[in-house]
A and B are shown apart, each in its own frame.
Chain A
Amino acid sequence: GDSVTQMEGPVTLSEEAFLTINCTYTATGYPSLFWYVQYPGEGLQLLLKATKADDKGSNKGFEATYRKETTSFHLEKGSVQVSDSAVYFCALTSNTGKLIFGQGTTLQVKP
C-alpha cells in the first residue's frame, strides 16, 4: 500500500542554519504531496503542497519539489528561525483522497 517515510528526528539547528528534512514515498498512481506543520499546542496546518511531478511548493520560506524519479519530496529552508520549531509531517493523498502521513520530524531551532 501507499506509504511515506521521513528522516528520523529530532533535528536541532542553530538560527539561520539551512534545513533539509527528507521525505520519500511509495504510491500507486500519481498522488499529491504535502508538508504539514504542527506548532506546539496547535493543530495541523498545511505548509505547502505539490500536485504533479516537478512542481515546487513553497510557503513562508520553505520549499519542496515533487521528484517522481526519486519518489521524494524533501523540505528545505535556507535560514531557519526559532519560530520554525515544530513537528513537520510529509503526506500524500491516496486514490480515495485520504491523507497518508509519515511519522513526523521534530525540528528544534536554538538562538
Chain B
Amino acid sequence: EAGVAQSPRYKIIEKRQSVAFWCNPISGHATLYWYQQILGQGPKLLIQFQNNGVVDDSQLPKDRFSAERLKGVDSTLKIQPAKLEDSAVYLCASSLDTYNEQFFGPGTRLTVL
C-alpha cells in the first residue's frame, strides 16, 4: 500500500515570495492533516480536513496561509507571502477517520531567506 506522498521535498524561497505544497493521502483516508514542524520543536497542527470540509484551522495564520482539499483527496497548502519564521518542515498526515492512526508523509522542508 502506498504511503502519504508529498512534494516537493525541499524548497528554498526568498521572503515575500509565495510557495505551494502538495499532499496525496493514502487511498480511502477521509481525514487529512497539515502540521508545521519548526526546528527543535514538535509538529503543530495547521489544518485538519474531514473529506473536503475543514474540521480545525484554529492555528492556521489565515492572513498568509491557505489550504484546500478539492474532491476530498489531494490537498494543497499555500503560503503567500512567506516570512522568515515560516522556515520549517511541513508534514502531511492522513487517517481512515478522525480518531484512527495517522500516517505521515516525508515532509517538505521550506527555507525562507
Residues of A that sit less than 8 Å from B by CB: 4, 32, 42-46, 49, 89, 91, 93, 96-104
Give the contact-size bracket for chain B: 20 to 34
The answer to whether A97 and B42 touch (CB under 8 A), given A43-B91, A44-B104, A46-B101, is no
Kindly identify which residue among B41, B102, B105 contacts A99, using a CB–CB cutoff of 8 Å. B102
Tell yes or no: B43 within 8 A of A by CB.
yes
For A91, list chain B residues within 8 Å (CB): 42
Nearest chain A CB to B19 CB, angstrom units: 20
Tell me the bound Cα distance from A99 to B94 in angstroms.
12
Kindly identify which residue among A43, A96, A103 contacts B107, using a CB–CB cutoff of 8 Å. A43
For A32, list chain B residues within 8 Å (CB): 99
The reply to whether A44 and B91 form a contact with Cβ atoms under 8 Å apart is yes
Of A4, A49, A96, the most chain B CB neighbours within 10 A belong to A96
Task: List 9 contacting pairs A-B, 8 Å CB cutoff, sorted by A.
Answer: A44-B91, A44-B104, A96-B48, A97-B98, A97-B99, A99-B93, A99-B102, A100-B45, A101-B42
The reply to whether B42 and A98 form a contact with Cβ atoms under 8 Å apart is no
The answer to whether A45 and B48 touch (CB under 8 A), given A99-B43, A103-B40, A104-B42, is no
Kindly identify which residue among A44, A93, A97 contacts B43, using a CB–CB cutoff of 8 Å. A44
For A46, list chain B residues within 8 Å (CB): 101-102
Closest residue on chain B to residue A91 by CB atoms: B42
Tell me the bound Cα distance from A93 to B42 in angstroms.
14
The reply to whether B33 and A43 form a contact with Cβ atoms under 8 Å apart is no
Tell me the bound Cα distance from A32 to B106 in angstroms.
24
Within 8 A of A (CB), among B74-113: 91, 93, 95, 98-99, 101-102, 104-107
Tell yes or no: B14 within 8 A of A by CB.
no
Extra A-B contacts (11), CB below 8 Å, given A46-B101, A96-B48, A97-B99: A44-B93, A45-B104, A96-B55, A96-B56, A97-B98, A99-B35, A100-B45, A101-B43, A104-B40, A104-B41, A104-B42
For A4, list chain B residues within 8 Å (CB): 42
Tell yes or no: B24 within 8 A of A by CB.
no
Tell yes or no: B62 within 8 A of A by CB.
no
